[in-house]
């Protein structure tokens, strides 16, 4: 992934900035917010004295007080106050857009006490890079320590502060756990102040990131800032089969994208009648099989004692008409209206008239070849054995046919076997 500021190779392929799609130019940042007011040359006599600062390439953000609005603009690397130290981040929003963002996240400006200290220099950036290089090894070692202490938790990520005095361990667990001994071991091992922060499965996937089933980066790690509850009812409204493996994302929960088109489906379903599972006609009782929401079709089939009749597609207006008749204790002749049958007859007659000018080609009779198991195939194949035809000849219906058959067949003129005659003579002598 590369933006316009990334360099390219000789073939024109973007090399990327090395941040795996989270560059600092704002065009491919992780959960970035574009400050479009910062590019306008407008003088604000009373600027809003709060800014939004993002840390670790947009992994988490926070609001800080800005006592000097004219000295700090969007995109500056700044040193901000932190509990017992300082941290380094980048200003992602400033001005009136911060007021709207704080209102959206329900943050009271009076509750924000930390403020911006100064601009960050090259030495501060070097310390930050050193802290980022320690995070992976710390996470691997922390998982090993938790396993030895038999603590039922899963470490998702570790974030060091820019001054390397504090490390935040993000973990997921099924319930509340006692990690007091674990914190003591972490503080002794890593020589930092340890903060344990429990997050959910969705927050973990947003923090780590990944590629979804659609082939793009996860929505929660790129642009989705708030999580809404997702239920299986959203899949039912959209006629999606309830398959847990296909509907669940990398976090193990239902995909957030099930809610993206739910409102459109709900608006389209308002035109469909309710309690339309069965329709009664003089032919019989019909059951609803499926519906096509955007085409406005409902598919019914008659219920038979054995099997089921062919499926019939009905419009929403026709279904409402039948339901209205059933409510008045009336039954139509069939599911389809007479007008539909008349339209079909007109189409058939029109097609027949069109086919009168077509030239008919002579039909060629095809010879049917007799099949054999392994030898020749054809009507004249009378071989007997493994490769010959073993089809029996038809029995003659008349006596003349028998005589003709007897004259042509040599087996019929053979004398009877001597064994049979001897047996008959023995029976006569015994009598």
Tens-of-pLDDT digits for all 431 residues of the chain?
A: 345 445 556 555 555 555 544 454 444 556 666 677 766 666 666 778 899 999 887 778 899 999 888 788 888 899 999 988 899 999 988 888 899 889 988 899 889 989 999 999 999 999 999 999 999 999 999 999 999 999 989 998 999 999 999 999 999 998 888 888 999 999 999 999 999 999 888 888 888 888 888 888 888 888 887 788 898 899 988 988 888 888 999 888 899 999 999 999 999 998 899 889 999 998 888 989 889 998 889 999 988 877 667 888 999 999 999 999 999 988 888 887 655 544 544 444 444 445 444 444 445 455 555 554 544 444 444 444 444 444 455 554 554 444 444 444 444 455 555 555 555 555 554 54
Cα(237)–Cα(231) distance, integer angstroms: 11
Q: Is the pTM of this model over 0.75?
A: no
Residue 210 is predicted with a pLDDT of: 86
Q: For Cα atoms 268, 273, 278, give the angle at the middle one, nearest 5 degrees.
A: 130
**Per-residue confidence (pLDDT) for residue 97, from 0 to 100:** 87
As a CATH number, domain 134-206 is 3.30.300
Residue with tokens 């028998």: 402
- CA dist list (Å): 125 to 202, 271, 295: 30, 60, 58
**H or E stretch at 165:** none
DSSP line for 68-125: -TTT--TT-EEEEEETTEEEEEEEEEETHHHHHHHHHTT--GGG---BEEEE--HHHH
Q: What is the pLDDT of residue 217?
A: 87
Tell me the DSSP string of 2-47: --TTS-B-TTS-B---SSTT--TTSSS-TT----GGGGS----SS-
* Helical packing angle, 180-190 and 135-148, nearest 10°: 140
- Three-class SS of residue 243? coil
Closest CA to 85 of 170, 188, 196, 166: 166
pLDDT at 11: 56
Partners of residue 356 on adjacent β-strands: none
Question: How far is the C-alpha of 163 from the C-alpha of 397, rounded, in Å?
Answer: 110
Domain boundaries, the chain: 36-120, 134-206, 228-268, 278-341
What gap in Å lies between CA 256 and CA 220, rounded to an integer? 8
SS3 content of the chain, % helix, strand, coil (to 5): 35, 20, 45
């Amino acid at each position: 992934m590369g933006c316009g500021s990334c360099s390219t190779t000789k073939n024109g392929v973007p090399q990327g900035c090395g941040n795996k799609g989270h560059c600092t130019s704002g065009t491919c940042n992780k959960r970035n917010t574009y400050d479009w007011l910062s590019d306008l040359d407008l003088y604000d006599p009373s600027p809003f004295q709060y800014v939004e600062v993002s840390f670790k390439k947009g992994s988490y953000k926070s609001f800080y007080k800005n006592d000097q609005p004219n000295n700090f603009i969007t995109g500056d690397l700044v040193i901000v106050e932190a509990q017992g130290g300082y941290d380094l981040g980048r200003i992602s929003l400033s001005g009136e857009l911060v007021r709207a963002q704080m209102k959206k996240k329900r943050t009271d400006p009076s509750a924000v006490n930390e403020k911006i200290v100064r601009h960050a220099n090259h030495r501060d950036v070097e310390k930050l890079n050193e802290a980022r290089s320690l995070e992976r090894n710390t996470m691997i070692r922390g998982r090993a320590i938790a396993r030895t202490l038999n603590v039922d938790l899963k470490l998702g990520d570790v974030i060091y502060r820019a001054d390397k005095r504090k490390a935040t361990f993000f973990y997921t667990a099924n319930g509340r756990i006692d990690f007091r001994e674990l914190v003591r071991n972490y503080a002794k091992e890593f020589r930092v102040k340890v903060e344990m922060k429990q997050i959910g499965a969705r927050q973990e996937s947003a923090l780590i990131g990944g590629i979804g089933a659609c082939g793009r980066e996860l929505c929660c790690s790129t642009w989705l800032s708030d999580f809404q509850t997702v239920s299986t009812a959203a899949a039912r409204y959209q006629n999606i089969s309830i398959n847990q493996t296909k509907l669940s994302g990398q976090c193990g929960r239902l995909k957030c994208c099930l809610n993206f088109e739910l409102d459109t489906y709900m608006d389209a379903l308002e035109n469909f009648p309710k309690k339309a599972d069965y329709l009664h006609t003089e032919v019989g009782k019909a059951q609803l099989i499926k519906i096509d929401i955007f085409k406005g079709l409902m598919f019914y089939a008659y219920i038979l004692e054995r099997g089921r009749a062919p499926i019939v597609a009905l419009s929403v207006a026709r279904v409402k008409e039948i339901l209205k008749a059933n409510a008045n204790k009336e039954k139509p002749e069939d599911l389809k209206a007479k007008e539909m049958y008349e339209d079909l007859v007109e189409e058939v007659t029109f097609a027949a008239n069109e086919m009168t000018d077509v030239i008919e080609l002579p039909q060629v009779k095809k010879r049917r070849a007799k099949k054999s198991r392994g030898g020749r195939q054809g009507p004249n194949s009378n071989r007997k054995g493994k490769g010959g035809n073993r089809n029996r000849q038809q029995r003659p219906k008349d006596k003349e046919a028998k005589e003709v058959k007897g004259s042509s067949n040599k087996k019929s003129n053979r004398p009877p076997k001597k064994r049979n005659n001897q047996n008959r003579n023995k029976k006569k002598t015994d009598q």
